[in-house]
Amino acid sequence: MTESKFQFNYEVYSDISELSEQDAWLLTEARTVTEQAYAPYSNFHVGAVAMLENGEVVAGTNQENASYPVGICAERVLLGTVATIHPNVPVKSIAISYSSDDVKSDHPISPCGMCRQALLEYETRTAKPIRLILSGQEGKVFIIETASFLLPFAFTKSELG
């Protein structure tokens, strides 16, 4: 038997004031767009804002539904919009934030498993890493250089032949 380890480095900032001007702007946009989320069931509003390689900015929010499986996360709304409006344009960075009526939004959250798979697929599709900026409405900020770090042992198109 052999043993292996998977680990990655990421940046931790105490708050938005430590970020570059562009990253701070993108995170501010993500924090603001959470207001557009449709989350009447969970009261958990998520906003995702992408800076594309061509300089365009696209936003997405979570959209819930009374039939729970029909809802969709902000990250996948965002990626679908990017792929439709700007086909095959790589995403440089995505800032993701949340607000809630029930819990304090003072720490970063990470994309769910389905969103991690969708982010990885978009990275593979464009052959470019997607840099993630994760934070709540206040507090610490995490920056992860590539979404693929969040999904080790990923299922990709290479498994399909």
| 2 contacts: CB under 8 Å, gap ≥ 6 | none
Task: Tell the residue number behind the tokens 């198109």, with chain if given.
Answer: 157
CB 67 within 8 A of CB 47: no
CB 60 within 8 A of CB 81: yes
Task: Tell the residue number behind the tokens 């409006």, with chain if given.
Answer: 85
Alpha carbon 39 to chain centroid, angstroms: 17
CA distances from 128 to 24, 69, 90, 145 (A): 22, 30, 6, 11
> Global pTM?
0.96
The SS3 assignment for 15 reads coil
Catalytically annotated residues: 75
Q: How many other C-beta atoms lie within 10 A of the C-beta of residue 95?
A: 28
Query: What tens digit of pLDDT does each residue of 83-130 get?
Result: 999 999 999 999 999 999 899 999 999 999 999 999 999 999 999 999
pLDDT band with cut points at 50, 70 and 90 for residue 161: confident
Which domains are assigned to the chain?
37-109 (3.40.140.10)
Average pLDDT of 21-38? Answer: 98
- pLDDT for 38 equals 98
